[in-house]
Amino acid sequence: MTALITGGTKGIGAAIVQILLENGIDIHINARNLKDLQAQHSELTNTYADRSITFSSNDLATKEGVQSLIEDFSAEHKTIDILVNNAGVFYPGKTSEEDAGTLESMIETNLYSAYYLTRGLLPMIKQSKAGHIFNMCSIASKIAYPNGGSYSISKFALLGYTKVLREELKEEGIKVTAIMPGATWSNSWAGVDLPESRLMAARDIAISVWSAIQMSPAAVVEDITIRPQLGDL
Ligand SMILES: NC(=O)c1ccc[n+]([C@@H]2O[C@H](COP(=O)([O-])OP(=O)(O)OC[C@H]3O[C@@H](n4cnc5c(N)ncnc54)[C@H](OP(=O)(O)O)[C@@H]3O)[C@@H](O)[C@H]2O)c1
Rg (CA), the chain: 17
Which H or E run contains 76?
A: helix 63-76
C-alpha to C-alpha distances, 144 to 36, 39, 102, 185, nearest whole angstrom:
33, 37, 17, 20
Q: Looking at the predicted structure, is the pLDDT value of residue 189 above 90?
A: no
Band (pLDDT 50/70/90 cuts) for residue 190 is: confident
- pLDDT mean over 4-23: 98
Identity of the residue numbered 16: I
> Taking CB atoms and a 6 Å cutoff, what residues make up the pocket around ligand 1?
6-13, 30-33, 36, 59-61, 86-90, 109, 136, 138, 181, 183-184, 186-188
Contact in structure between 13 and 5 (CB atoms under 8 Å): yes
Which protein residue has the closest C-alpha to ligand 1 atom 1? Answer: 184
Band (pLDDT 50/70/90 cuts) for residue 54 is: very high
Contact in structure between 185 and 201 (CB atoms under 8 Å): yes
Which protein residue has the closest C-alpha to ligand 1 atom 8? Answer: 138
pLDDT of residue 187: 87
pLDDT of residue 21: 98
Q: Provide the 10 A C-beta neighbour count for residue 16.
A: 30
Cα–Cα distance measured from residue 204 to residue 94, given in angstroms and rounded to the nearest whole number: 29
- pLDDT mean over 125-144: 96
Q: In order of start, what are the domains of the chain with their CATH numbers?
A: 2-226 (3.40.50.720)
105-123: pLDDT as tens digits: 999 999 999 999 999 999 9
212-226: pLDDT as tens digits: 999 999 999 999 999
Q: Looking at the predicted structure, is the pLDDT value of residue 146 above 90?
A: no
Cα–Cα distance measured from residue 201 to residue 183, given in angstroms and rounded to the nearest whole number: 9
